[in-house]
Amino acid sequence: MKNRICAALLTLALCLSLAGCAGGASSGMSVSSPAAEPSSGADSGVQAGKAYTVGILQQMEHTSLDEIREAVEAGLARGAAAGGYTVEVVYKNAQGDPTAIRTIAEQFAAQGVDVIVPIATGAAQGAAAAAQDVPIVFSAVADPVAAGLVDAFDRTTGNITGVSNGIDVAKIFALADELTPGIGTYGFVYNEGEVNSQSIIEKAKAYLDAQGLAYEEVTVASSGEVQQAARGVIAKGVDALFIPNDNTVASALPVLAQEAIAAGLPVYPTADSMVRDGGLATVGINYTVLGGQTADMVCRVLEGTPIADIPVELVNESSVVVNGDTAAALGVDVSRYVQ
């Protein structure tokens, strides 16, 4: 049965203008976005007809990161068309290999790309270390300060800025209490080697400690360990699972969700894409919005705005997302969020 997934948008800030600046490309390929007539945006100093190259470095392949990349590509194409220039996108996937991340970043720098767009924290850290003379606009870095990418959100003194997918864990736990009241113990499954996961888990622990709620955790080092980790944390007697923005776990989220559903437990992840992969619900970031916001920032760099004048941004829109199939399997009423 097809997933019946509904999202009720809860706008938390001003809606994003998705006008951004590149066609799509599979690994090892590149395509150019079509040129367009010069627009009033020519005042930015962009030469009509000028060609730019953007290298997209994706940490690994899974639903969330794929969605971001596709949105970045679409946003780049829109921006190029509006500005009267062309953008060629070169997409490379590191498949979760830190060595490959660094190699790809070095290749992009050697090829003279105009901007590197690393997607996810590990990719951003690798790109920052390997390509210090190329503008970098990261996407989906939960805590860029803890990751060592910037000193502060409003201080981008080096060659790097980007869009953070920081999470308000309190909203997710409030939603969990609404949909499945009575949760006394949460289970965490995450890769402690991912800075993004550590940051969110620390926030989750602080919140639960303040509420007098318990938690158990099992960590993984690879996606192949996720199923066993799910079984292990479920065996600890938890009432629900909370999953951070963890790329390792996200790549195996369908397997984890199956284990949880079989045990009658809800999974509350931090991204809408992980709900589509079997989680019950979240107040999560829309990753298409995130990718569009990233593309807009890239275009500003291409059009001449210095990195120092572009502070790190948070995604300015979030939504409640529920998975109807998972809710039905667990007997949870999500009708309030079904249109």
CA-wise closest residue to 261 among 278, 249, 274, 242: 278
| Residues 6 or more apart in contact with residue 202 via CB below 8 angstroms | none
**Phi and psi (nearest 5°) for 290?**
-60, -45
CA distance 204 to 329: 26
User: Given this model, what pLDDT does residue 339 score?
Assistant: 66
User: Given this model, what pLDDT does residue 46 score?
Assistant: 55
SS3 sequence of the chain: CCCCEEEEEECCCCCCCCCCCCCCCCCCCEEECCCCCCCHHHHHCCCCCCEEEEEEEECCCCHHHHHHHHHHHHHHHHHHHHHCCEEEEEEEECCCCHHHHHHHHHHHHHHCCCEEEEECHHHHHHHHHHCCCCCEEEECCCCCCCCCCCCECCECCCCEEEEECCCCHHHHHHHHHHHCCCCCEEEEEECCCCHHHHHHHHHHHHHHHHHCCEEEEEECCCHHHHHHHHHHHHCCCCCEEEECCCHHHHCCHHHHHHHHHHCCCCEEECEHHHHHCCCCEEEEECHHHHHHHHHHHHHHHHCCCCHHHCCCEECCCEEEEEEHHHHHHHCCCCHHHCC
Q: Decide which of 3.40.50.300, 3.40.50.2300, 3.40.50.10320, 1.10.287.610 is the CATH code for 169-280.
A: 3.40.50.2300
User: Given this model, what pLDDT does residue 67 score?
Assistant: 93
- The boundaries of every CATH 3.40.50.2300 domain in the chain are 5-166+285-319, 169-280
Q: What angle do CA 114, 127, 189 make, to 5 degrees?
A: 135
CA-wise closest residue to 74 among 295, 273, 286: 295
Full-model pTM: 0.73
User: Given this model, what pLDDT does residue 176 score?
Assistant: 98
User: Given this model, what pLDDT does residue 338 score?
Assistant: 83
Fold held by 5-166+285-319? Rossmann fold (3.40.50)
CA distance 122 to 125: 5
Token digits for 102? 């660094």
Q: What is the pLDDT along the chain (339 residues), one digit of tens a residue?
A: 434 444 333 333 323 333 334 333 334 333 333 333 333 333 445 556 899 999 999 998 888 899 999 999 999 999 999 999 999 999 999 998 999 999 999 999 999 999 999 999 999 999 999 999 999 999 999 899 989 999 999 988 889 999 998 888 999 999 999 999 999 999 999 999 998 899 999 999 999 999 999 999 999 999 999 999 999 999 999 999 999 989 999 999 999 999 999 999 999 999 888 999 999 999 978 889 999 999 999 999 999 999 999 999 998 677 899 999 999 999 999 999 986
**Phi and psi (nearest 5°) for 306?**
-65, 145
Tokens 């767009």 belong to 117
CA distance 296 to 79: 7
User: Given this model, what pLDDT does residue 12 score?
Assistant: 31
